[in-house]
Amino acid sequence: MSPENGSPMVLLCWGESSHCSILPVLFANSGDDVETWREIHRAWYARRGYWRKHLPGYSITRVDAVKISLLGLKKASKGRENREYIGMYTERDVPAERKLLQQTIDNYVPISDCFYDRRTGTVECGYGCNCFYCLPCFDDAGECPEETYITARRNIVHLNTLHLMKHVFSNPDLAVLNDFLKKENLLYSHRDVLDLTETWNSWHCPALREIEFRGIVVSEGWALDKRHITLPLLVAILLGVVVAARFLFGWDTAWNVGAFFVALISLLLCISYQL
């Protein structure tokens, strides 16, 4: 499943967590987040059907980062090239991650010698720091407490805003000031795949399903609002009024009532789509 011609890729999946379809999406330039998300958007609808975009009340409900296990290529139709895999995905335990990060923040004890430089995004350690960068020769040296604290604060913000990825999927232009793909390690180059394979090769003859990838899961469903419920109900009521007018006053009155209601419904539809 290594990317062709060295092009980076993202794994896009959908379906049940225990039995999902997985589609590698290749990119010409992974440095442009907007174009990358546009390609993800295009690949999704090219595979799933563009008609889904125009079905009232049916929309994307969730876009999230997950861990993916591949089983192998899906069986292709006769005479068609297949790039789709079958496998499963595991959702992240967001509450547990958030709790762990919050504990790290709450247990932080400030060190006066260390400070975070927001211009470089690095922590400058002082003489009183005992991290492994300052004391590489000591076995009991750990990560700098200031760096651990800063990393936990940023990670909890990213975790709390992860659900916004759904809007970037629907409108790729929103990706210009965001870094969902980079932060969640969702981009794979040819070298990344080789490194990942070599890492899992520390096991004896690992199976494909044992190698863990990261990807994007897309879920869709019905998201009915008041407009989608009120208008059909109104049409049903008005149709009942027209039928009643037919039996009470005859076809002439029924046609007049029906014509009035058609104009009224058209006006309401125009107003509702402008809101």
**Same domain flag for 148 and 188:** no
Q: Give the total number of structural domains in the chain.
A: 3
Query: Residues with Cβ < 8 Å from 221, sequence gap 6 or more?
Result: 58, 59, 61
* pLDDT: which is higher, 177 or 78: 177
CA separation for the pair 246, 43 (Å, rounded): 51
* pLDDT, average across residues 21-46: 89
**Same domain flag for 11 and 47:** yes
* pLDDT, average across residues 121-135: 64
Q: What confidence score (pLDDT) does residue 12 get?
A: 95
* pLDDT, average across residues 179-197: 82
Query: Residues with Cβ < 8 Å from 175, sequence gap 6 or more?
Result: 33, 34, 36, 37, 168
CA separation for the pair 10, 181 (Å, rounded): 9
Q: pTM for the complete prediction?
A: 0.73
| Residue 85 β-bridge partners | 22, 73
**Same domain flag for 135 and 80:** no
Q: What confidence score (pLDDT) does residue 144 get?
A: 73
**Same domain flag for 186 and 106:** no
User: Domain of 250?
Assistant: 226-274
**Same domain flag for 231 and 135:** no
Q: What confidence score (pLDDT) does residue 1 get?
A: 59
What tokens does 226 get? 């008041």
**Same domain flag for 208 and 75:** yes
Q: What is the pLDDT of residues 222-274, one digit of tens each?
A: 776 666 566 667 677 777 777 777 777 777 777 777 777 777 767 766 665 55
Q: What confidence score (pLDDT) does residue 274 get?
A: 56
**Same domain flag for 16 and 84:** yes
**Same domain flag for 86 and 212:** yes
**Same domain flag for 78 and 189:** yes
DSSP 53: G
Q: What confidence score (pLDDT) does residue 250 get?
A: 74
Burial of 1 (C-beta count, 10 Å sphere; 0-12/13-18/19+): middle
Q: Among the three residues 188, 204, 222, which one is the final residue of a domain in this structure?
A: 222
Q: What confidence score (pLDDT) does residue 217 get?
A: 95
User: Is residue 186 within 8 Å of residue 214, measured between CB atoms?
Assistant: yes
Q: What confidence score (pLDDT) does residue 247 get?
A: 76
* pLDDT, average across residues 40-61: 86
**Same domain flag for 146 and 189:** no
CA separation for the pair 87, 19 (Å, rounded): 6
CA separation for the pair 79, 90 (Å, rounded): 33
**Same domain flag for 81 and 166:** yes
Residue 178: pLDDT band with limits 50, 70, 90:
confident
**Same domain flag for 168 and 80:** yes
